[in-house]
Amino acid sequence: MILLMLYSNIMTSLQRRKFVQYFNCLDDDHNGILEIGDFTNMANTLCSLRGWHLDSDKYRDVHFNLMLFWNSIHAFADKNRDGIVTLSEWIAHKEYLVNASRDVYDDYIKFFSYGLFDLADENHDGSLSQLEYRHLMQAFHVGDMMARVAFEKLDLNHDGAISRYEFENALYELHFSNDPDAPGNWLFGEF
Ligand SMILES: [Ca+2]
Ligand SMILES: [Ca+2]
Ligand SMILES: [Ca+2]
Ligand SMILES: [Ca+2]
């Protein structure tokens, strides 16, 4: 019964708040819509935080990864195909996911989780250090103090790193959990 309440398929105000926060993280220029430029800006910010030059292979990899991320968001959420994703399109897409079968969600989460995790995993060692996570959060305009708090919550086994499992788990809780204390709620900062 409790599980049913915590993982309901009707979008609650808590879920909506989390999705709005996620949207705001991606809306780099804060103009209320997601568009390709937001993701180019993120590539520039991430690489500048890492000290990677715009003409380096590492920059090209990050940019490529963020273009894949944008193309997927565009493919899934831009319902009227006008090249931008509004907040209402984003919420409608999330509503679809919240109501989708676990199989649909699992396919989706594997794709997005792997992409985002790889984007953040600067040294490709298969886990996120606190600094790697904080860099991603800085690129998402989440304050550094908040990023440190969130990291502690997401690092479930307290080994000082976020594993791929912990990241996937967080993304799942971000989408589905209605428990206000679920650690994954904090994946993209305060909600
Ligand atoms: Ca924007
Ligand atoms: Ca649109
Ligand atoms: Ca790493
Ligand atoms: Ca951990």
Task: Quote the domain boundaries for residue 57.
Answer: 2-6+13-186
What value does the mean pLDDT take over residues 19-43? Answer: 98
Please write the tens of the pLDDT for every residue from 11-28. Answer: 899 999 999 999 999 999
- Cα atoms found within 13 Å of the Cα of residue 62, Cβ hemisphere only: 29
What value does the mean pLDDT take over residues 126-152? Answer: 97
Please give the distance, rounded to the nearest whole angstrom, from the Cα atom of residue 85 to the centre of ligand 1.
Answer: 9
pLDDT band at 6 (very low <50, low <70, confident <90, very high): low
Q: Is residue 42 in a domain?
A: yes
CB atoms within 10 A of CB 127: 18
What value does the mean pLDDT take over residues 146-163? Answer: 98
Looking up residue 93, the CATH number of its domain turns out to be 1.10.238.10
pTM of the model: 0.92
- pLDDT exceeds 60 at position 108: yes
Ion ligand 3 neighbours (CB, 5 A) are 121, 123, 125, 132
Rounded Cα distance between 39 and 46, Å, is 10
Domains identified in the chain, total number = 1
Please give the distance, rounded to the nearest whole angstrom, from the Cα atom of residue 39 to the centre of ligand 1.
Answer: 9
